[in-house]
Amino acid sequence: MTTVTSPLAGRAIGLAAVPDPVFSGAMVGPGTAIDPARDEASEAVAPVDGVIVSLHPHAFVVVDDEGHGVLTHLGIDTVQLNGEGFELLVNKGDTVTRGQAVVRWDPAAVEAAGKSPICPVVALEATADALSDLRQDGDVKAGDTLFGWQ
């Protein structure tokens, strides 16, 4: 069982509330989403121990020892910002531990640029019934459990 924790502080809102049909329809995979705190620039942290297999300023994937890939997508349509306002803190191929900072970003700046700062956290190549205790509401801190993955 893999425990997936929140990569940032904010409010869990569930994938259905994500303003993007690819995520809200769980086409990428099941999971949840975080509406991040807007108070200041923050660090998105690894939601599991593992290896960074994909790394972009606006999104990263960590694969754990069981082969579970977890996508953290920082905002919606943020690829259009071309990395502006995002700082990579690790490299693709790095081994990271849960809670380790991966990307520094500013959700308020993303919002000011006209993009949604909502962050899907998705279990890649998983089925919905593989997830348990899915957190879809309430305040979360970075490191709080979002869901279990069988």
Residue 80: what are its φ and ψ, rounded to 5°? Answer: -70, -10
DSSP code per residue over 78-138? GGGGTTTTEEE-S-TT-EE-TT-EEEEE-HHHHHHTT-B--EEEEETT--GGGEES---SS
In degrees to the nearest 10, what's the CA dihedral of 134, 138, 140, 144?
-30
Residue 130: what are its φ and ψ, rounded to 5°? Answer: -80, -15
List 56, 58, 68, 73, catalytic entry: 73
Catalytic status, residue 58: no
Asked if residues 50 and 96 have their Cβ atoms less than 8 Å apart, the reply is: yes
149, amino acid identity: W
Handedness of CA 105, 32, 91, 1 (dihedral sign): positive
Residues designated as active site: 73
